[in-house]
């Protein structure tokens, strides 16, 4: 097996760290116990194991993550042993893992007062220090106002026809005349085009997706900047993107300053408007443009691919969904959909929601405590990391009856707050959740009404690196429907 230099480096680093750690562990055991006892005297830490010093339980965490079994192999056994809240050490950071609606509410709704979101240094460097996910307080509120407003149902109304054209064009150019395609790769290319062409009004040029994907590959890599490391390659790609986007931002600014009367409806023009007013800087515009591609890309395409997989495994659901789309299509003059048509796709949205309950594109995310937090009789100390997970509630039988079965109708009834969290919650709730919904439903509509399709590998393995994806790209056999 040939290891990539970056992976090799990580392994060497981990092995050295493990050797030093175990030596230190032996000598420092007494001291360590003394310190922990001192902390515990003052604060009652949740139960759990910290593993080896520095390395902690990182190897167990990575191993479980790689096979997309983070919940089954890492979180769940510890819940059984220690309860819904437990301590561990991951990637050098003492961490508290929390599970359950009450804990989710506490952590997600108290962003800025008790916790702040915590991203690896590689993510912040590649997305940019000025993007919304790296901002706190007032600056976050301002940026979020601009982004979330443009991505709300009202803001997106004008985008739906353009989105339909983009999906149709994608199917005509990438699917037509083929017998087999990679659904996941196709969904990724489409999501990328949607962000650029529908949100920014910038035509996607040849090779752009590949440059962006090089940045994304480094987002969770070790921040070691060698030319051949994942992170080094990602940083280089980021410079290319920045140069390209700065050019576009300046061009758009000039255009808008010269013709102030021209109506501007895209998210891009909203950002430039605020740049002209001096509310945000050019760096903030560029960093947020990069972030939105990252936030939309692997998440939406995974949800799209997994929805098709679930439909293939549940033929009755597939028939019901198809009937819904045939009805919507029959009641329309042309092919272009409106927001009102999308609102009629109630069953389809339940199918997508159920898919994301069972296979959430985001496992959960990290926060950092900015104050000591008392919860469930324990203290989460200031400075510690906190990991909240979607699985902790999505797979809880007390919240979702028979949780492993696929049942879209469970969404007929309202769902208790902070139990269904594919889009997170609180002040950092996904700013693009409405766009994700519309994109997935429009894509479903055009595919199921134009194509018969079947999975090539119904049991294809899902792996995680660090987000989940089908290991073979989910190939599907396609044939155009008889009209």
- Binding-site annotation: residue ranges for heme: 430
Q: Of the two residues 133 and 447, which places its CB atom closer to ligand HEM in the complex?
A: 133
361 binds ligand HEM (CB under 6 A): yes
430 binds ligand HEM (CB under 6 A): yes
Rg of the Cα atoms in the chain: 23
The interface mask with ligand HEM, positions 182-211, x = CB under 6 A, is -------------x----------------
The Cβ of residue 31 has, within 10 Å, a number of other Cβ atoms equal to: 10
Pick from 45, 101, 286, 431 the residue near ligand HEM by CB under 6 A. 431
124 binds ligand HEM (CB under 6 A): no
The interface mask with ligand HEM, positions 260-299, x = CB under 6 A, is --------------------------------x--xx--x
Q: Of the two residues 232 and 432, which places its CB atom closer to ligand HEM in the complex?
A: 432
- Shortest Å distance, C-beta 204 to ligand HEM: 15
Residues 6+ apart with CB under 8 A from 372: 43, 379, 380, 381, 382
CA distance 77 to 71: 8
Q: Of the two residues 88 and 117, which places its CB atom closer to ligand HEM in the complex?
A: 117
Contact 290, 185 (CB under 8 A): no
| End-to-end C-alpha distance for the chain, whole angstroms | 50
- Shortest Å distance, C-beta 30 to ligand HEM: 39
- Shortest Å distance, C-beta 228 to ligand HEM: 31
Q: How many residues sit in the footprint of ligand HEM (CB under 6 A)?
A: 25
Based on the number of CB atoms within 10 Å of its own CB, is 396 exposed (0-12), middle (13-18) or buried (19 or more)? middle
φ and ψ of 379, to 5 deg: -110, 130
CA distance 199 to 166: 12
387 binds ligand HEM (CB under 6 A): no
Based on the number of CB atoms within 10 Å of its own CB, is 62 exposed (0-12), middle (13-18) or buried (19 or more)? middle
The residue behind tokens 């083929």 is: 178
Q: Is the alpha carbon torsion for 355, 358, 363, 368 positive or negative?
A: positive
Q: Is the alpha carbon torsion for 233, 234, 235, 237 positive or negative?
A: positive
CA distance 203 to 226: 32
Q: Of the two residues 420 and 423, which places its CB atom closer to ligand HEM in the complex?
A: 423
Q: Which H or E run contains 215? A: helix 208-218
- Shortest Å distance, C-beta 223 to ligand HEM: 19
Q: Which H or E run contains 455? A: strand 451-455
CA distance 73 to 411: 28
Provide the greatest CA pair distance for the chain. 78
Which structure tokens are listed for 113?
């007062």
392 binds ligand HEM (CB under 6 A): no
126 binds ligand HEM (CB under 6 A): no
For residues 104-123, which are near ligand HEM according to CB under 6 A? Answer: 117
Q: Is the alpha carbon torsion for 152, 154, 159, 164 positive or negative?
A: positive
Q: Of the two residues 432 and 473, which places its CB atom closer to ligand HEM in the complex?
A: 432
Q: Of the two residues 86 and 423, which places its CB atom closer to ligand HEM in the complex?
A: 423
442 binds ligand HEM (CB under 6 A): no
- Shortest Å distance, C-beta 360 to ligand HEM: 7
- Shortest Å distance, C-beta 432 to ligand HEM: 2
Residue number of the CB closest to ligand HEM reads 432
128 binds ligand HEM (CB under 6 A): no
Q: Of the two residues 219 and 303, which places its CB atom closer to ligand HEM in the complex?
A: 303
Considering only the stretches 91-99, 315-323, 370-378, 426-434, report the one whose residues sit in contact with ligand HEM under the rule CB under 6 A.
Answer: 426-434
The DSSP result for 372-384, as a single string, is -EEETTEEE-TT-
- Shortest Å distance, C-beta 80 to ligand HEM: 25
365 binds ligand HEM (CB under 6 A): yes
Q: Of the two residues 45 and 151, which places its CB atom closer to ligand HEM in the complex?
A: 151
φ and ψ of 85, to 5 deg: -125, 125
For residues 312-351, which are near ligand HEM according to CB under 6 A? Answer: none
The residue behind tokens 């059984």 is: 80
Closest CA to 342 of 352, 358, 354, 176: 352
436 binds ligand HEM (CB under 6 A): yes
Pick from 46, 48, 128, 422 the residue near ligand HEM by CB under 6 A. 422
Considering only the stretches 41-49, 51-59, 357-365, 468-476, report the one whose residues sit in contact with ligand HEM under the rule CB under 6 A.
Answer: 357-365
Helix/strand/coil for 407: coil
- Shortest Å distance, C-beta 188 to ligand HEM: 12
φ and ψ of 56, to 5 deg: 60, -130
Q: Of the two residues 159 and 195, which places its CB atom closer to ligand HEM in the complex?
A: 195
CA distance 105 to 111: 10
428 binds ligand HEM (CB under 6 A): yes
Pick from 45, 103, 147, 317 the residue near ligand HEM by CB under 6 A. 147
Residues forming the site for ligand HEM (CB under 6 A): 117, 132-133, 144, 147, 151, 195, 292, 295-296, 299-300, 303, 361-362, 365, 422-424, 428, 430-432, 435-436
């Amino acid at each position: 097996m040939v290891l990539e230099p970056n992976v090799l480096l990580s392994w060497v680093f981990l092995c050295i760290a493990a050797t030093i750690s175990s030596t230190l562990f032996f000598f420092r055991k007494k001291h360590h116990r003394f310190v922990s006892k001192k902390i515990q005297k003052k604060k009652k830490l949740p139960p759990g194991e910290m593993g080896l010093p520095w390395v902690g339980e990182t190897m167990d965490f990575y191993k479980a993550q790689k096979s997309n079994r983070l919940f089954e192999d890492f979180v769940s056994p510890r819940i059984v042993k220690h309860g819904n809240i437990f301590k561990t050490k991951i990637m050098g950071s003492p961490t508290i893992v929390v599970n359950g609606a009450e804990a989710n509410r506490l952590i997600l709704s108290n962003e800025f007062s008790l916790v702040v979101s915590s991203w690896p240094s590689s993510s912040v460097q590649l997305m940019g220090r000025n993007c919304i996910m790296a901002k706190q307080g007032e600056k976050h509120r301002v940026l979020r106002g601009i982004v979330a407003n443009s991505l709300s149902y009202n803001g997106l109304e004008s985008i739906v026809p353009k989105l339909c054209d983009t999906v149709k064009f994608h199917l005509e150019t990438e699917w037509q005349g083929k017998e087999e395609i990679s659904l996941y790769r196709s969904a990724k290319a489409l999501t990328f085009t949607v962000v650029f062409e529908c949100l920014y009004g910038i035509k996607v040029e040849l090779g752009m997706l590949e440059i962006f994907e090089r940045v994304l590959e480094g987002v969770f890599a070790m921040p070691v900047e060698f030319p051949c490391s994942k992170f080094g390659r990602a940083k280089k790609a980021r410079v290319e993107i920045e140069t390209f986007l700065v050019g576009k931002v300046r061009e758009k600014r000039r255009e808008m300053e010269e013709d102030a009367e021209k109506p501007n409806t895209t998210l891009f023009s909203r950002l430039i408007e605020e740049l002209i007013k001096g509310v945000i800087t050019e760096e903030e515009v560029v960093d947020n443009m990069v972030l939105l591609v990252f936030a939309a890309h692997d998440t939406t395409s995974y949800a799209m691919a997994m929805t098709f997989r679930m439909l293939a495994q549940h033929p009755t659901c597939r028939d019901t969904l198809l009937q819904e789309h045939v009805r919507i299509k029959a009641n329309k003059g042309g092919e272009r959909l409106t927001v009102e048509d999308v609102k009629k796709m109630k069953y389809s949205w339940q199918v997508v929601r159920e898919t994301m309950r069972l296979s959430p594109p985001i496992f959960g995310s990290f926060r950092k405590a900015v104050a000591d937090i008392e919860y469930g009789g324990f203290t989460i100390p200031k400075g510690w990391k906190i990991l909240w997970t979607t699985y902790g509630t999505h797979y809880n039988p007390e919240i979702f009856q028979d949780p492993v079965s696929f049942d879209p109708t469970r969404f007929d009834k309202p769902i208790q707050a902070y139990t269904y969290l594919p889009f997170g919650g609180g002040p950092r709730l996904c700013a693009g959740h409405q766009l994700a919904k519309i994109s997935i439903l429009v894509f479903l509509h055009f595919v199921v009404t134009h194509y018969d399709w079947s999975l090539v590998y119904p049991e294809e393995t899902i792996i995680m690196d660090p987000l989940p994806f089908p290991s073979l790209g989910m190939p599907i056999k396609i044939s155009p429907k008889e009209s």
